[in-house]
Amino acid sequence: MSNPFDRDAMARCYAKRHFETDSGVQQIKYLPKGAPDSEIRFLEVNRMIAETDDPEPIDFGVDIGNANAHTLYVLDVTPAQWEEIQAGRMRLPPGWTLEDAKSFPE
C-alpha cells in the first residue's frame, strides 16, 4: 500500500534541498492556492540569476509515475523582480497567486 501524496511535506523537502544546493536562493514562496493537488509551485528569489524581461516557471520534471506522482514548477526571480511583483508592477504566470503563500525559511 502506498502513502498518499503530501504536497505540503514534499514542498518543505524541496525547499530545504534548494536552499542547500543553490547559494543564491534567498527566499522561497510556496504557492499552493489554485494549483492542482499534484503540483508544487515555487517562486524563488535568487540573487545569482540574470534578470530576464519575462521569467517563466521551469518544470523540474519530478513526476515519478506512481501514486505520489507530482510536478514541481520553479519561477526564479531576482530580488529586484520580487520587489516589482510585490508592488504589483510585475505579474506572476497565469493562474499563480501570492494569496495564501507560505514562505521558506519559515
Q: How far apart are CA 2 and CA 67, in angstroms?
A: 7
The answer to whether residue 2 is domain-embedded is: no
Report the CATH number that the domain containing residue 15 is assigned in CATH.
3.30.460
**pTM, full prediction:** 0.90
Q: What is the mean pLDDT of residues 14-25?
A: 95
Task: State pLDDT tens for residues 23-53.
Answer: 999 999 999 999 999 899 999 999 999 988 8
Residue 1 belongs to a domain: no
**Residue 38 lies in domain:** 7-104
The span from the CA of 1 to the CA of 94, in Å, is 36
Q: Considering the domain boundaries, does residue 42 fall inside one?
A: yes
CA–CA distance, 88 with 104 (Å, rounded to integer) = 21
Question: What number of other Cβ atoms are within 10 A of residue 30's Cβ?
Answer: 22
